[in-house]
Amino acid sequence: MANMFEKITQSLVKTRDRLFGSLKTILPFGGKITDEVLEEVEEVLYEADLGPHAAEHLIGELRRRAGEINRGETDPFAVMREAVFSIINRFEDTRVRVGNFSPHVITVVGVNGAGKTTTIGKLAMRFRSEGRSVLIAACDTFRAAAVEQLGVWADRAGAEFIRARPGAPDHTKHNPGTPSGADAASVAYDAVVRAKARGTDVVIVDTAGRLHTSRNLMEELKKIHKVIGKSMESAPHETLLVLDATTGQNALRQAEVFGSSLKVSGIVLAKLDGTAKGGIVVSIIDQLGIPVKLVGTGEGLDDLRDFDPAEFAGALFAR
Protein backbone atom coordinates (compact mmCIF):
# COMPACT_ATOMS: atom_id res chain seq x y z
CA MET A 1 0.00 0.00 0.00
CA ALA A 2 1.34 3.41 -0.93
CA ASN A 3 2.10 5.69 1.99
CA MET A 4 0.34 9.00 2.49
CA PHE A 5 3.04 11.10 0.80
CA GLU A 6 3.04 8.86 -2.28
CA LYS A 7 -0.76 8.94 -2.51
CA ILE A 8 -0.91 12.71 -2.11
CA THR A 9 1.90 13.16 -4.62
CA GLN A 10 0.02 11.00 -7.13
CA SER A 11 -3.26 12.81 -6.52
CA LEU A 12 -1.65 16.20 -7.14
CA VAL A 13 -0.14 15.22 -10.49
CA LYS A 14 -2.63 17.36 -12.45
CA THR A 15 -2.07 20.35 -10.19
CA ARG A 16 1.71 20.13 -10.51
CA ASP A 17 1.81 19.33 -14.22
CA ARG A 18 -0.68 21.94 -15.41
CA LEU A 19 0.04 24.78 -13.01
CA PHE A 20 2.94 24.33 -10.65
CA GLY A 21 4.88 22.81 -13.50
CA SER A 22 4.99 26.36 -14.83
CA LEU A 23 7.00 27.35 -11.78
CA LYS A 24 9.83 25.08 -12.89
CA THR A 25 10.10 27.15 -16.05
CA ILE A 26 9.83 30.44 -14.19
CA LEU A 27 12.11 29.33 -11.34
CA PRO A 28 14.53 26.68 -12.60
CA PHE A 29 17.44 25.53 -10.47
CA GLY A 30 19.73 28.53 -10.15
CA GLY A 31 17.04 30.94 -11.33
CA LYS A 32 17.02 34.48 -9.92
CA ILE A 33 14.23 36.28 -8.11
CA THR A 34 13.26 39.52 -9.87
CA ASP A 35 10.12 41.64 -9.88
CA GLU A 36 9.17 40.19 -13.26
CA VAL A 37 9.63 36.63 -11.99
CA LEU A 38 7.51 37.35 -8.91
CA GLU A 39 4.69 38.67 -11.10
CA GLU A 40 4.71 35.46 -13.12
CA VAL A 41 4.81 33.31 -9.98
CA GLU A 42 1.89 35.22 -8.48
CA GLU A 43 -0.20 34.61 -11.61
CA VAL A 44 0.45 30.86 -11.39
CA LEU A 45 -0.49 30.78 -7.71
CA TYR A 46 -3.79 32.49 -8.46
CA GLU A 47 -4.51 29.99 -11.23
CA ALA A 48 -3.97 27.19 -8.73
CA ASP A 49 -6.68 28.68 -6.46
CA LEU A 50 -4.45 29.34 -3.48
CA GLY A 51 -6.39 32.53 -2.82
CA PRO A 52 -5.16 36.13 -2.67
CA HIS A 53 -3.93 36.13 0.92
CA ALA A 54 -1.96 32.90 0.57
CA ALA A 55 -0.51 34.00 -2.78
CA GLU A 56 0.61 37.31 -1.29
CA HIS A 57 2.19 35.48 1.64
CA LEU A 58 4.19 33.21 -0.67
CA ILE A 59 5.31 36.13 -2.83
CA GLY A 60 6.30 38.03 0.31
CA GLU A 61 8.44 35.11 1.48
CA LEU A 62 10.13 34.80 -1.91
CA ARG A 63 10.87 38.53 -1.89
CA ARG A 64 12.12 38.42 1.73
CA ARG A 65 14.49 35.56 0.99
CA ALA A 66 15.46 36.65 -2.51
CA GLY A 67 19.08 37.17 -1.47
CA GLU A 68 19.46 33.57 -0.29
CA ILE A 69 17.74 32.25 -3.40
CA ASN A 70 19.80 34.36 -5.80
CA ARG A 71 23.02 33.23 -4.09
CA GLY A 72 21.96 29.62 -4.54
CA GLU A 73 21.69 29.00 -0.81
CA THR A 74 17.97 28.24 -0.82
CA ASP A 75 15.59 26.58 -3.27
CA PRO A 76 12.58 28.83 -4.00
CA PHE A 77 10.36 25.73 -4.02
CA ALA A 78 11.46 25.03 -0.45
CA VAL A 79 10.56 28.60 0.49
CA MET A 80 7.07 28.22 -0.97
CA ARG A 81 6.65 24.80 0.63
CA GLU A 82 7.49 26.25 4.05
CA ALA A 83 5.15 29.19 3.47
CA VAL A 84 2.22 26.93 2.55
CA PHE A 85 2.91 24.69 5.53
CA SER A 86 2.82 27.70 7.86
CA ILE A 87 -0.66 28.55 6.53
CA ILE A 88 -2.26 25.11 6.67
CA ASN A 89 -0.59 23.81 9.83
CA ARG A 90 -2.84 25.76 12.20
CA PHE A 91 -4.72 22.93 13.93
CA GLU A 92 -3.32 20.57 16.56
CA ASP A 93 -5.09 17.44 15.36
CA THR A 94 -7.14 17.13 12.19
CA ARG A 95 -7.90 13.42 12.36
CA VAL A 96 -11.46 12.15 12.59
CA ARG A 97 -11.53 10.49 16.00
CA VAL A 98 -14.22 8.58 17.83
CA GLY A 99 -14.70 10.32 21.17
CA ASN A 100 -15.85 9.07 24.51
CA PHE A 101 -19.48 8.97 23.45
CA SER A 102 -21.75 6.05 22.77
CA PRO A 103 -22.61 6.49 20.02
CA HIS A 104 -20.27 8.98 18.38
CA VAL A 105 -22.53 10.84 15.95
CA ILE A 106 -21.17 12.24 12.67
CA THR A 107 -23.31 14.21 10.22
CA VAL A 108 -22.09 14.49 6.64
CA VAL A 109 -23.23 17.48 4.58
CA GLY A 110 -22.53 18.87 1.12
CA VAL A 111 -24.14 19.43 -2.26
CA ASN A 112 -25.32 16.54 -4.42
CA GLY A 113 -22.49 15.11 -6.48
CA ALA A 114 -19.72 16.24 -4.15
CA GLY A 115 -18.98 12.69 -3.04
CA LYS A 116 -20.95 12.33 0.22
CA THR A 117 -22.13 8.76 -0.39
CA THR A 118 -18.67 7.45 -1.25
CA THR A 119 -17.15 9.32 1.68
CA ILE A 120 -19.67 7.82 4.10
CA GLY A 121 -19.06 4.36 2.73
CA LYS A 122 -15.31 4.67 3.09
CA LEU A 123 -15.64 6.14 6.58
CA ALA A 124 -17.83 3.21 7.59
CA MET A 125 -15.25 0.80 6.17
CA ARG A 126 -12.53 2.53 8.16
CA PHE A 127 -14.44 2.35 11.44
CA ARG A 128 -15.40 -1.28 10.82
CA SER A 129 -11.74 -2.15 10.14
CA GLU A 130 -10.98 -0.69 13.58
CA GLY A 131 -13.49 -3.11 15.08
CA ARG A 132 -16.20 -0.53 15.72
CA SER A 133 -19.90 -1.05 15.12
CA VAL A 134 -21.47 1.45 12.72
CA LEU A 135 -24.99 2.55 11.88
CA ILE A 136 -25.58 4.59 8.70
CA ALA A 137 -28.71 6.76 8.54
CA ALA A 138 -30.01 7.69 5.09
CA CYS A 139 -31.47 11.14 5.70
CA ASP A 140 -31.45 12.27 2.07
CA THR A 141 -35.10 11.32 1.67
CA PHE A 142 -35.39 13.03 -1.73
CA ARG A 143 -33.11 10.80 -3.78
CA ALA A 144 -34.05 7.12 -3.84
CA ALA A 145 -30.99 6.22 -5.90
CA ALA A 146 -28.69 7.79 -3.32
CA VAL A 147 -30.40 5.83 -0.55
CA GLU A 148 -29.97 2.58 -2.49
CA GLN A 149 -26.29 3.31 -3.12
CA LEU A 150 -25.75 4.09 0.54
CA GLY A 151 -27.39 0.79 1.43
CA VAL A 152 -24.90 -1.02 -0.82
CA TRP A 153 -22.01 0.67 0.98
CA ALA A 154 -23.51 -0.29 4.35
CA ASP A 155 -23.66 -3.93 3.24
CA ARG A 156 -20.06 -3.85 2.05
CA ALA A 157 -18.89 -2.32 5.31
CA GLY A 158 -20.97 -4.62 7.50
CA ALA A 159 -22.76 -1.60 8.96
CA GLU A 160 -26.35 -1.37 10.12
CA PHE A 161 -28.54 0.73 7.83
CA ILE A 162 -31.65 2.77 8.55
CA ARG A 163 -33.84 4.57 6.04
CA ALA A 164 -37.25 6.23 5.93
CA ARG A 165 -40.37 4.18 5.41
CA PRO A 166 -41.96 5.68 2.26
CA GLY A 167 -45.19 7.46 3.09
CA ALA A 168 -44.68 7.40 6.85
CA PRO A 169 -45.47 10.63 8.73
CA ASP A 170 -43.09 12.91 10.55
CA HIS A 171 -43.08 11.81 14.19
CA THR A 172 -40.43 14.12 15.58
CA LYS A 173 -42.81 16.83 16.73
CA HIS A 174 -45.43 14.81 18.61
CA ASN A 175 -44.09 11.38 19.47
CA PRO A 176 -40.32 11.05 18.97
CA GLY A 177 -40.26 7.50 20.30
CA THR A 178 -42.10 6.08 17.31
CA PRO A 179 -40.41 4.47 14.29
CA SER A 180 -38.79 6.44 11.51
CA GLY A 181 -40.93 8.63 9.31
CA ALA A 182 -40.25 10.02 5.87
CA ASP A 183 -39.00 13.27 7.40
CA ALA A 184 -35.18 13.42 7.40
CA ALA A 185 -35.01 14.57 11.02
CA SER A 186 -37.19 11.61 12.05
CA VAL A 187 -34.74 9.20 10.45
CA ALA A 188 -31.80 10.86 12.20
CA TYR A 189 -33.57 10.82 15.55
CA ASP A 190 -34.52 7.18 15.25
CA ALA A 191 -30.98 6.23 14.21
CA VAL A 192 -29.41 7.78 17.30
CA VAL A 193 -32.04 6.32 19.64
CA ARG A 194 -31.52 2.88 18.10
CA ALA A 195 -27.73 3.17 18.34
CA LYS A 196 -27.94 4.17 22.01
CA ALA A 197 -30.18 1.20 22.77
CA ARG A 198 -27.88 -1.25 20.98
CA GLY A 199 -24.55 0.14 22.13
CA THR A 200 -23.45 1.06 18.61
CA ASP A 201 -20.12 2.87 18.47
CA VAL A 202 -20.62 5.24 15.52
CA VAL A 203 -23.62 6.76 13.75
CA ILE A 204 -23.02 8.37 10.37
CA VAL A 205 -25.89 10.56 9.15
CA ASP A 206 -26.22 11.27 5.43
CA THR A 207 -28.09 14.46 4.48
CA ALA A 208 -29.68 16.07 1.45
CA GLY A 209 -27.70 18.46 -0.73
CA ARG A 210 -30.05 19.75 -3.35
CA LEU A 211 -28.65 23.29 -3.61
CA HIS A 212 -26.13 24.93 -1.34
CA THR A 213 -27.83 28.28 -2.01
CA SER A 214 -31.23 26.97 -0.88
CA ARG A 215 -32.40 28.45 2.40
CA ASN A 216 -34.83 25.54 2.78
CA LEU A 217 -31.96 23.06 2.67
CA MET A 218 -30.05 24.91 5.39
CA GLU A 219 -33.17 25.00 7.57
CA GLU A 220 -33.60 21.26 7.06
CA LEU A 221 -30.00 20.62 8.09
CA LYS A 222 -30.43 22.79 11.18
CA LYS A 223 -33.55 20.81 12.06
CA ILE A 224 -31.67 17.52 11.74
CA HIS A 225 -28.94 18.81 14.04
CA LYS A 226 -31.49 20.09 16.55
CA VAL A 227 -33.38 16.79 16.61
CA ILE A 228 -30.15 14.81 16.97
CA GLY A 229 -29.31 17.01 19.95
CA LYS A 230 -32.64 16.12 21.52
CA SER A 231 -31.98 12.43 21.07
CA MET A 232 -28.51 12.69 22.58
CA GLU A 233 -27.00 15.61 24.43
CA SER A 234 -23.86 17.07 22.78
CA ALA A 235 -24.61 15.31 19.47
CA PRO A 236 -23.72 15.57 16.68
CA HIS A 237 -20.11 15.34 17.77
CA GLU A 238 -18.71 15.97 14.30
CA THR A 239 -20.07 17.65 11.17
CA LEU A 240 -18.06 16.93 8.04
CA LEU A 241 -18.55 18.99 4.90
CA VAL A 242 -17.73 17.11 1.69
CA LEU A 243 -16.42 19.31 -1.12
CA ASP A 244 -15.53 18.39 -4.69
CA ALA A 245 -11.95 19.58 -5.24
CA THR A 246 -12.50 19.79 -9.00
CA THR A 247 -14.94 22.69 -8.55
CA GLY A 248 -12.22 25.07 -7.33
CA GLN A 249 -13.57 28.39 -6.09
CA ASN A 250 -17.11 27.04 -6.12
CA ALA A 251 -16.04 24.63 -3.39
CA LEU A 252 -14.84 27.58 -1.35
CA ARG A 253 -18.20 29.31 -1.78
CA GLN A 254 -20.00 26.15 -0.70
CA ALA A 255 -17.83 26.00 2.41
CA GLU A 256 -18.72 29.61 3.19
CA VAL A 257 -22.47 28.92 2.91
CA PHE A 258 -22.48 25.71 4.92
CA GLY A 259 -20.06 27.13 7.48
CA SER A 260 -22.24 30.19 8.06
CA SER A 261 -25.30 28.02 8.75
CA LEU A 262 -23.84 25.01 10.52
CA LYS A 263 -21.02 24.31 12.93
CA VAL A 264 -18.77 22.52 10.46
CA SER A 265 -15.96 20.77 12.34
CA GLY A 266 -14.00 19.58 9.34
CA ILE A 267 -13.85 19.28 5.58
CA VAL A 268 -13.48 16.22 3.39
CA LEU A 269 -11.97 17.25 0.07
CA ALA A 270 -13.04 14.60 -2.43
CA LYS A 271 -11.65 14.01 -5.95
CA LEU A 272 -8.32 15.69 -5.22
CA ASP A 273 -6.79 13.41 -7.84
CA GLY A 274 -9.05 14.85 -10.54
CA THR A 275 -8.25 18.55 -10.24
CA ALA A 276 -5.58 20.92 -11.51
CA LYS A 277 -6.49 23.35 -8.74
CA GLY A 278 -5.31 21.51 -5.63
CA GLY A 279 -4.37 24.85 -4.10
CA ILE A 280 -8.02 25.18 -3.05
CA VAL A 281 -6.99 23.24 0.07
CA VAL A 282 -4.79 26.16 1.09
CA SER A 283 -7.47 28.71 0.24
CA ILE A 284 -10.15 26.96 2.33
CA ILE A 285 -7.99 26.66 5.42
CA ASP A 286 -6.56 30.16 5.05
CA GLN A 287 -9.80 32.03 4.36
CA LEU A 288 -12.31 30.05 6.42
CA GLY A 289 -10.26 28.65 9.27
CA ILE A 290 -11.90 25.22 8.94
CA PRO A 291 -9.59 22.19 9.07
CA VAL A 292 -9.36 19.84 6.12
CA LYS A 293 -9.53 16.46 7.85
CA LEU A 294 -9.72 13.96 5.00
CA VAL A 295 -8.82 13.96 1.32
CA GLY A 296 -10.00 11.66 -1.44
CA THR A 297 -6.99 10.49 -3.44
CA GLY A 298 -8.59 7.95 -5.76
CA GLU A 299 -11.36 5.42 -6.24
CA GLY A 300 -10.03 2.66 -4.00
CA LEU A 301 -11.50 1.74 -0.62
CA ASP A 302 -8.36 3.00 1.11
CA ASP A 303 -8.20 6.24 -0.87
CA LEU A 304 -9.78 8.37 1.84
CA ARG A 305 -6.75 9.61 3.73
CA ASP A 306 -6.09 11.70 6.83
CA PHE A 307 -4.90 15.13 5.78
CA ASP A 308 -1.27 15.81 6.73
CA PRO A 309 -0.16 19.46 6.26
CA ALA A 310 3.54 18.65 5.94
CA GLU A 311 3.03 15.91 3.38
CA PHE A 312 0.55 18.00 1.41
CA ALA A 313 2.89 21.01 1.25
CA GLY A 314 5.77 18.72 0.28
CA ALA A 315 3.76 17.03 -2.46
CA LEU A 316 2.42 20.32 -3.79
CA PHE A 317 5.88 21.79 -4.36
CA ALA A 318 7.79 18.61 -5.16
CA ARG A 319 10.27 19.32 -7.96
In the listed set 88, 117, 151, which residue is the last one of a domain according to the structure? 88
Residue 142 near residue 169, CB atoms below 8 Å: no
Region 151-166: mean pLDDT is 90
Residues 123 and 127: their CA atoms lie apart, in Å, by: 6
Same structural domain, 121 and 36? no
Residues 202 and 106: their CA atoms lie apart, in Å, by: 8
CATH number at residue 14: 1.20.120.140
CATH number at residue 185: 3.40.50.300
Read off the pLDDT of residues 34-93 as tens digits, 9 standing for 90 and up. Answer: 999 999 999 999 888 888 999 999 999 999 999 999 999 999 999 999 999 999 999 988
Structural domain harbouring 149: 104-308
For residue 262, give the 3-state DSSP assignment: coil
Mode of pairing for the β-strands spanning 134-139 and 238-244: unpaired
Q: How far is CA 230 from the centre of its chain?
A: 27
DSSP letter at 272 equals G
Same structural domain, 153 and 241? yes
Q: How far is CA 8 from the centre of its chain?
A: 14
Same structural domain, 81 and 128? no
Q: What is the DSSP string of 158-202?
A: T-EEE-PPTTPPP-TTT-TTSPP-SSHHHHHHHHHHHHHHHT-SE
Q: Number of structural domains, the chain? A: 2
pLDDT interval class at 181 (50, 70, 90): very low
CA-based Rg of the chain, rounded to a whole angstrom? 22
Average pLDDT over the chain reads 87
Same structural domain, 133 and 183? yes
Q: Which amino acid is at 170?
A: D
pLDDT score recorded for residue 174: 35
pLDDT score recorded for residue 212: 54
Residues 239 and 201: their CA atoms lie apart, in Å, by: 16
Read off the pLDDT of residues 215-253 as tens digits, 9 standing for 90 and up. Answer: 788 999 999 999 999 999 989 999 999 999 889 889 999
Read off the pLDDT of residues 271-280 as tens digits, 9 standing for 90 and up. Answer: 888 877 788 8
Beta strands, E only, 4-46 = none
What is the pTM for the complete model shown? 0.89
Whether residue 182 is predicted with pLDDT greater than 60 in this model: the reply is: no
Residue 147 placed within a domain: yes
Same structural domain, 238 and 169? yes
Whether residue 28 is predicted with pLDDT greater than 80 in this model: the reply is: yes
Residues 136 and 134: their CA atoms lie apart, in Å, by: 7
Residues 306 and 126: their CA atoms lie apart, in Å, by: 11
241 membership: H or E segment, kind and range: strand 238-244
Same structural domain, 144 and 31? no
pLDDT score recorded for residue 93: 84
Burial class (CB in 10 A: 0-12, 13-18, 19+), 130: exposed
